[in-house]
Structure 1
Amino acid sequence: MKLRNVPTRLATGAYIVHTGWEKWHGDEERAAAVHGMAANAFPAFNSMKSTDFLKRLSVGELALGAALLTPFVPPALAGAALTGFSGGLVAMYLRTDGLHKPGSIWPTQRGVAVSKDVWMLGIGLGLLADGLRSSKRD
C-alpha cells in the first residue's frame, strides 16, 4: 500500500465497516427501508426478503471495508471493489425519483445523504488508476 493511499483507504474503509456493522444489527423496519430503495432502483432485488437483503448487504460492506483497511490488498483490487460498490449506490441515486431534481443530477433535500456516495466512486477510481499506473511501472 502506498503511503498516499492510507488516508483515503483508512477513512473510507472505516466508514464502510461501520455502516456494515450497523446494518448487521438492523431491525425489520430498517431492512424494509433499505431493501425498498434498492428494489425500486434494481427490480431484481424484489424477490429477496428484506431482512436477507440487509444481511447480505452488511456482509458485502464489512468485506469491502476490511479489504480497504488491509494493507496487503493491492490498490487496484481495493479500488475496483469500491468502484463497483459505489457505482451501484450512485446508480440507485440516479434511478430513484425524489432524490434528485427532475432532469438533473443535483440532489433534492431528501437526496443529499445518498448523493454524497459519489465521493466513494471518486476514491475507488483513484485507487484503481493508481494501482494500474503503479503496476505498469513495476
Structure 2
Amino acid sequence: MRILARAHQLPPRLAAAAIILNSGLSKAEADEQTAAGLHGMACSAYPFLRGLDPVTFVKLLSKGELALGTALLLPFVPSLLVGAAVTGFAAGLLGLYLKTPGMRMEGSLRPSEQGIGVSKDVWLLGIGLGLVMEELGHR
C-alpha cells in the first residue's frame, strides 16, 4: 500500500480530524431538541434543507463528519481528495456564518459573540485549500 500523504501534511490533517471527529461523535447522540436547533440554524442559511427531518439531518451530518474525520486520519487517502472535502465542508460552515442572522456584527464580517465559534472554522478552509493547492502544484 502506497502512503499518499506527505509527512508535513499529517499535522494539519490530524488537527482537522480531531475537531471534525469530535463534532461528529457529539452529534451522533443528539436528542430531538438539539437536532431541531441544529437543523433550524442550517435551514436559515440553506433553505433547501427544510425538507429533511431534523433528526435525519443531524444523523447524516454526524455520519458525514465521522467519514471526513476518518479519511483525514488515514494517510493512504489522497491529500487532494481530503483537502477538497475539507474545503467543501469548511465553505459550508462559513456560509452558515455569513448567512445566519446574529453571527456577525452589523455591517461587518467581524463575528458577534454568537458567531465566534463558527467564524473560527476559517482554519479548516485554510487546511483544505493548502492540501488542494499543494497537490495540484505537484501535478
SS class of match (1:106): coil
Corresponding position of 1:131: 135
Structure 1 residue 48 and structure 2 residue 52: aligned? yes
- Separation in 1, partners of 2:61, 2:6: 29
Which of 60, 65, 68 is the aligned partner of 1:64?
Answer: 68
- Separation in 1, partners of 2:137, 2:131: 10
Which of 34, 40, 46 is the aligned partner of 1:30?
Answer: 34
Corresponding position of 1:90: 94
Equivalences, count = 135
Structure 2 spans left out of the alignment, 5+ residues = none
Shift of 1:102: 1.7
SS class of match (1:108): coil
Q: Which amino acid aligns with 1:131?
A: E
TM-score (norm 1): 0.95
Query: Which stretches of structure 1, 4 residues or more, deviate above 6 A after TM superposition?
Result: none
Please give the residue correspondences for 1:69-84 in structure 2 after superposition, counting only pairs within 5 Å. Answer: 69-84=73-88
Corresponding position of 1:114: 118
Q: Which amino acid aligns with 1:89?
A: L
Which of 8, 11, 27 is the aligned partner of 1:4?
Answer: 8
SS class of match (1:14): helix
Shift of 1:133: 1.5
What RMSD in Å do the two structures reach over aligned CA positions?
0.8
- Separation in 1, partners of 2:21, 2:101: 28
SS class of match (1:99): coil
Q: Could you report, residue by residue, the CA deviation over 1:36-92 in whole angstroms, capped at 9, with x for unpaired residues?
A: 100000000111111000000001100110111110111111100000011000011
Which of 22, 32, 41 is the aligned partner of 1:18?
Answer: 22
Corresponding position of 1:102: 106
Identity fraction in percent:
49
Q: Which amino acid aligns with 1:68?
A: L
